[in-house]
Structure 1
Amino acid sequence: MLNRSHTRTRRGLLIAVTAAAAVLSMVAAAPADARGAHRHAAETGQTYYVSPSGSDTSGGLSSGTPFQHIQKCADVMVAGDTCMIESGTYQETVVPAHSGSSGLPITYRAAAGAKVTISGASSVAGWTQVTGADVTTIGQSDPYALNSAFSDAVAAGHVWSTGVDLGSDPSTVQVFTDKQMDIEAQWPYPGLDLLNPTIEHAGAGSADATIDDASLTRPAGYWNGARALTGYWYVSATTTVAASDAGSVTLAAAPPCVHKVVPTDTRYSLSGKIGELANPGEWFYDPTAHRLYLYSTDSPAQHTVEAKARQLAFDLTNASYTSVVGVDLFASTIRTGSTTSHDTLDTITGSYLSHYTDITQGTTDCGSSVDRGIGDTGIVLNGTNNTIVNSDLSLSAGNGIALGGQNNTATDNIIHDVDYMGTYAAGIAVMGNSQTVMNNTIYRVGRSGINLQWGTNAGLTADKDRIAYNDISQYARLSLDTAGIYTCCGADMMGTSVDHNLLHDGTPTPGVTPFAVAGVYADNGQSDLVIANNVGWNNLQGTVMLNGLGSGSYNNGVYNNTGGMTMMYVKGTNQSTGTKIYNNIGTITGSDGATDGGLLMSNNLDPTVDPLFVDAAGHDYELTAASPARSQAIPLAGINDGSTDAVPSLGAYQYGAPKWTAGARR
């Protein structure tokens, strides 16, 4: 007779073995995400390796058997896995197949000491020197190419060409020689510094759609069909030339808003004619013949010549809990999606992030083209709780960074030489709400360092932004009516704080009537903003500018700023109820109309009194022991705490408190 307990033991063992086999069968049949979840319950994740010398069939599980493409990592990795990327240039757009999870992100990381570049450009080869016979052939369809600056450059042996399909729209073409962007052939020749171009201005007699300029010496008809870029006030726009003669061009449409400014303030350039291909670093593309022409003093074969072929290095539209660390981007960028969350971009070095030259959109009056590139250029973080940190970003027709969605963060980044088209794009474009932008260094930008807009997101509770401890300089290089930090128009900002920023050396476009360049500019009726403890110098309108025209500007708090202020209100109207201007140092202009409208001003240092800064010439605006700004402020909790005096100080630095600093901390 069998022992009953032994029988029960055998029966239990059989059940256990059967159950285990069933589990193994289910795991084997499960999709990658499920297998990953099962594996990562007990493991921290698999590391895969990538090298340009690898093979996508090698397995990728060691540095000796790497994959060849980062995309192969992206195809197989699940939560907790890492792709270790060896030195090299990777010409691809990486689209992850899976997301990570909380505590188990998917990570793409440059290997220790590796120089990893993900490039959106592809090489262009097959160059031949353009000859006089070629010019004659070109002249059959474009007679203006004959006896032009282009034909002279050909005769000198400086023009080369190759057959390549770069699409049908020259405004999207981007060409590089030895990693520096070349420019489309144009007049006037702007030079190769995108944020400091040579600028031509319309002359006397110019009207809305007509540019008169004695410097336009090309023959009648030469510019017909060319693309015209115009800029004035805060509007940049593109259109085509309908007719031309020596000394004038007539545009197909009057640029938006030009009727509201002096026409001779209009700066412009003309492109799209091969006859202008005559200067170093220039190219011309014929979309019909699919032929690219390049000015070069020696054979382009002696150089690395490339053209933009891909927009994105990483497409994270559908990838959450994903990190990209330590990689370089060239002629490409990274984008997250509206449902993306908890992605991190760390130590990214990106150059030539986004490019376009056609910027006319929308209606025909003011504002039609100002939004080109705001939400879709530079590093684009949509979704929620995504972060970019410790990165160096430069050279973009649009933004350095765009923060859409909600609860996204940009911190400790260096951003420069962006918005070279001079639109409302910015060093950092802040949209949505509940965003954090702190400790960034931003300089040399076409318009604003930070463009602070406002929007709500379906299903999410709106909250204030925080814009703090940023060092922003050399803004307004290609536009006016702007600021280091610019915000507009008519929004309730829900207590958004703009505080502890250094805002200096606004540089209005040369040759135009200077107007409205400030440190922080709340334009056209922004309300419920806190603008506090900011320091500015070398700004036309001071550190802070409030414009209450239009819908009014209510319930703002402007506290303890150093560097002066400008206000724009209509006397006798109720446009500033609830706004308080307290404890500031510097000249305040335009206050009469504001106070009539309900604005309150108190405890601001008389501008005739020397505040006795530590070193104003050296831009150290701390207070000396003898400063009359000590012990004079209205105490404001969370705004002017920290003084060693019993009563707080005026201005952005509390006497005796440690001096705060701004900018990227590295």
Structure 2
Amino acid sequence: MLNILYRSRISGTRARRGLLSAAAGAIAVLSMAAAASPAAAQGHRHAAATGQTYYVAPSGSDTADGLAAATAFQHIQKCADVMVAGDTCLIESGTYRETVTPAHSGSSGLPITYRAAPGADVTISGTSALSGWSQVTGADVTAIAQSDPYAQDSLFSDAVAAGHVWSTDVDLGSDPTTVQVFTDRAMDIEAQWPYPGLDLLNPAIEHAGAGSADATIDDAALTRPAGYWNGGRALTGYWYVSATSTVAASDTGSVTLSAAPPCVHKVVPTDTRYALSGKIGELANPGEWFYDPAAHRLYLYSTDSPAQHTVEAKARQRAFDLTNASYTSVVGLNLFASTITTGSTSTHDTLDTLTGTYLSHYTDITQGATDCGSSVDRGVGDTGIVLNGTYNTIVNSDLSLSAGNGIALAGQNNTATDNIIHDVDYMGTYAAGIAVMGNSQTVLNNTIYRVGRSGINLQWGTTSGLTAGKDRIAYNDISQYARLSLDTAGIYTCCGADMMGTSVDHNLLHDGTPTPGVTPFAVAGVYADNGQSDLVIADNVGWNNLQGTVMLNGLGSGSYNNGVYNNTGGMTMMYVKGTDQSTGTKIYNNIGPITGSDGATDGGLVMSNNLDTATTDPLFVDAADHDYELTAASPARNAAIPLAGVNDGSTDAVPSLGAYQYGAAKWTAGARR
């Protein structure tokens, strides 16, 4: 158990609320109203005052009045039960294991605020501490072998003999794919083969071998005896699809899955990477666990007693449930193994200066049918910090380590700005650093790096009763994407939608990192896939991307009315000549090589005033150090088609090509802190 040291950081007088001075007659009227209606009295109180401050501390008591540090509540939920519009909850240092669900909303100008007390270090944890550990013995292995004979003479039995396996009795539910275990605040991993290591975005990877078919993986490295993997689970990944399934049969050198993973028939078998889990025989490496749901028994590999450490398991999904809350602010808190969610009717909620780690977790990602496109969207709409509703904001926060998103923007007119997001989407699905759904969303000045697939997954949807509008995705610095999946980008958008003038501009998009050991394909800075239309992609800069800074794919349905202006770093287009239409799309003022243009221009796309760096040196200030400003001698000066709002600012008579106007102040991207 954690020992919580309470140190009161608040001193001073009690904050009391009083009614404004009024005439005796007015007081009498107010008293009569209060007697007749307590709710009315509450409303009068907030019309006349700026709000009450309540205090919470681990050493407090929920039977106290909470009106001072010396009489603090013990739980944040107690604040949530009593606070009304204009009130503030100041939270003292400590770890609070609860889900806070407000009973009331704030109002315009009178938000309800949950805030760390000055200087306090506050963590809202989704875990419960584990205890009662005992060392697993050879006799325990013999007992386990009654139901799983492969436990004998396994890596697990060797680890037991070495004294490295411990267990405890705990009910973590019936589904091991939702279990999450931590030792000293670092996530342990489920026992699996091959042992992936503890870096979730850089796991050791095994590939299917020659002879593999749709539902069968052949691999000489599969040395376990026949039947060993039966009933286990498989995680497969290839192209843009990650999926999970069960093992129907196994033999030395092969496993047969219960069904062919989606889309695997379209890739070379050796591009298929996989991992197997669900067998206690693999519990043999540091940081691993195995859970037996039938026996409610958790096993942990540890070189010393887990009692010498803080071992915890996930018990709650949310730190704050703001599903029915509006005008509510959460400021300066740490979230551990939990997240925050607003609801479809939430409005004007603000999340500020949060530090969130291990926001969401799951390892079962198969959904839908077995054709291409299924099972890629697990977690897109419901993981990470979820802002649904309207006019909600997350700002100045550091978010990391999520099976799914860092942030999900659903609803409409929500904002994510000045956040740092990294090491998310470690299951390699269409979740992202920021998943942008709905419409009219704003994503500005975020730094996003080390993600399973895309930094920003930009989709499109409408909210009933609200007027749809364009998104703005700008001034973000995104890098190290495509770590676990291909056919993606720093900013990825798909498929066949009218994006209503959505602007993707002034982003730095660099160092896409294709999945190790697979055939590289389609890793770009910005990728408008499968017929996206009415997008403005302007003033973006990219480097170290396979397909350049911009990629347009109009295969099948075509794409229309896109403006690709003043980008630096090259681009790729995919259109079938004579088949795919691109009417209304304009490619102007870009710097870098452009490939695939023949099929696009045949379909109506217009290209003009672009500089191909394969034939002409743009004379950047320092391309080796990724400074793509223009020198005085650059041929990109005075060479652009003037586009209001896109290439303003040059000190020359005519705008420059590329993302930086000559003589203008250099724009910057990423979180501003």
Q: TM-score range by the shorter chain?
A: over 0.9
Distance in 2 between the 1:219 and 1:94 partners? 49
SS in 2 for 1:634: coil
Q: Does 1:288 align with 2:294?
A: yes
CA distance in 2, matches of 1:369, 1:380: 20
Instruction: Report what 2:137 is aligned to.
Output: 131
Residue number in structure 2 paired with 1:610: 617
1:542 to 543, 548, 553: 548
One-letter amino acid of the counterpart of residue 651, structure 2: T
Q: Is the 8 A contact 1:168 1:287 kept in 2?
A: yes
CA deviation vs aligned residue, 1:312-331 (integer Å, no higher than 9, x gap): 00000001000000000000
**Superposition deviation, residue 574 in structure 1:** 4.7
8 Å CA contact 2:556, 2:580 repeated in 1: no
* Equivalent residue, structure 2, for 1:654: 661
Contact 2:410 2:436 in 1 (8 A): yes
- Could you tell me the TM-score, scaled by structure 2's length? 0.96
Residue 364 (structure 1) shift: 1.3
2:69 match: secondary structure: coil
Please give the residue correspondences for 1:112-151 in structure 2 after superposition, counting only pairs within 5 Å.
112-151=118-157
Q: Which amino acid aligns with 2:634?
A: S
1:10 alignment counterpart: none
Q: Which residue of 2 aligns with 1:378?
A: 384
> Which residue does the alignment assign to 2:53?
47
Partner of 1:334: 340
Instruction: Report deviation, 1:28.
Output: 4.1
Q: Show the counterpart of 2:451.
A: 445
| Contact 1:431-1:452 at 8 Å conserved across structures | yes
1:574, 1:598 within 8 Å by CA — same for their partners in 2? no
Q: Separation in 1 of the partners of 2:672 and 2:263? A: 41
Counterpart secondary structure, 1:64: helix
Structure 2 residue identity aligned to 1:651: G
Matched, 1:479 2:481: no
Are the structure 2 counterparts of residues 57 and 25 from structure 1 closer, same or farther at C-alpha, using a change threshold of 3 Å? farther
Q: Map residues 47-66 of structure 1 onto 2, 5 A cutoff.
A: 47-66=53-72
Residue in structure 2 matched with residue 26 of structure 1 by the alignment: 33
Render the CA deviation track for 1:502-525: whole Å, top value 9, x for unaligned: 000000000000000000000000
Determine the structure 2 residue equivalent to 1:665.
Answer: 672
Alpha-carbon deviations, 1:307-349, whole Å to 9, x = none?
0000000000001000000000000000000000000000000
1:100 and 1:35 map into 2 onto residues whose CA distance is 16
**Structure 1 counterpart of 2:640:** 633
Give CA deviations for 1:563-593 in whole Å, capped at 9, x if unaligned: 0000000101351000000000000000000
1:94 aligns with 2:134: no
Moved runs in structure 1, 4+ residues, more than 6 A? 16-19
Tell me the distance in 2 between the aligned counterparts of 1:402 and 1:35: 39
- 2:182 maps to 176
Q: Who is 2:355 aligned against?
A: 349
Distance 1:29 1:401 in 2: 45
**Paired residues of 1:183 and 1:283 also in contact (CA < 8 A):** yes
- Pick from 563, 571, 580 the counterpart of residue 565 of structure 1: 571
1:422 corresponds to which residue? 428
Letter in 1 for 2:617: D
Corresponding position of 2:650: 643
CA distance in 2, matches of 1:19, 1:204: 88
Residue 623 in structure 1 maps to residue 630 in structure 2 = yes
The aligned residue for residue 412 of structure 1 is 418
Q: Tell me, in whole angstroms, the C-alpha distance in 2 between the residues paired with 1:31 and 1:181.
A: 48
Deviations 1:43-94 (A, max 9, x none): 1100000000000111000111100000000000000000000100000000
**2: CA distance, partners of 1:28 / 1:91:** 38
Give 1:621's aligned amino acid: Y
2:276 to 270, 274, 287: 270
Measured after TM superposition, the shift of residue 19 of structure 1 is 7.8
1:385 and 1:23 map into 2 onto residues whose CA distance is 35
Match for residue 396 of structure 2 among 390, 394, 403: 390
Equivalents in 2 of 1:24, 1:483: separation in Å? 63
Post-superposition Cα deviations, 1:547-577, rounded to whole Å, max 9, x if no partner, equal 0012111000000000000000010135100
Alpha-carbon separation, structure 2, partners of 1:295 and 1:113: 37
User: In the alignment, is the contact (CA less than 8 A) between 2:532 and 2:559 conserved in 1?
Assistant: yes
How far 1:31 moved relative to its partner?
Answer: 4.7
CA distance in 1, matches of 2:381, 2:37: 38
Alignment correspondent of 2:603: 597
* Structure 2 Cα separation of the partners of residues 483 and 552 of structure 1: 20
Q: Does 1:463 align with 2:465?
A: no
> Per-residue deviation at 1:26?
2.8
* Corresponding residue for residue 196 of structure 1: 202
In structure 2, distance between residues paired with 1:569 and 1:17: 80
Matching of residue 588 in structure 1 with residue 562 in structure 2:
no
- Residue identity opposite 2:209 in structure 1: G
Q: CA separation in 1, counterparts of 2:622 and 2:65?
A: 63
Distance (whole Å) between structure 1 residues aligned to residue 661 and residue 247 of structure 2: 57
Q: Distance in 2 between matches of 1:572 and 1:31?
A: 73
**Which deviations, in whole Å up to 9, do the C-alpha atoms of 1:221-275 show, x marking residues without a partner?**
0000000000000000000000000000000000001111111110000000000
The CA deviation at 1:23 is 3.5
Offset of residue 108 of structure 1: 0.3
- Conserved? CA contact 2:594–2:612, under 8 Å: no
Pair 1:588–1:27, CA change in 2 (3 A): same
Structure 1: gaps spanning 5 or more residues: 1-15
Q: 1:206 aligns with which of 197, 203, 212?
A: 212
Aligned to 2:634, what secondary structure does the other structure show?
coil
Whichever of the two has the greater Rg, that structure is: 1
| CA displacement at 1:423 relative to structure 2 | 0.1
Deviation of 1:35 (Å): 3.5
Alpha-carbon distance in 1 for matches of 2:362, 2:38: 41
1:186-218: CA deviation from partner (whole Å, max 9, x where unpaired): 000000000000000000000100000000000
The gaps in structure 2 that reach 5 residues or longer are: 1-22
State the SS of the aligned residue for 1:288: coil
- The whole-number CA distance in structure 2 between the counterparts of 1:36 and 1:652 is 55
Cα pair 1:482 1:518 within 8 Å, conserved: yes
| Equivalence for 1:324 | 330
- The answer on 1:220 being equivalent to 2:226 is yes
Partner of 1:153: 159
* Structure 1 residue aligned with 2:80: 74
Distance 2:523 2:372 in 1: 19
Q: Residue 610 of structure 2 aligns to a residue in which SS?
A: coil
Which residue does 2:253 correspond to in 1? 247
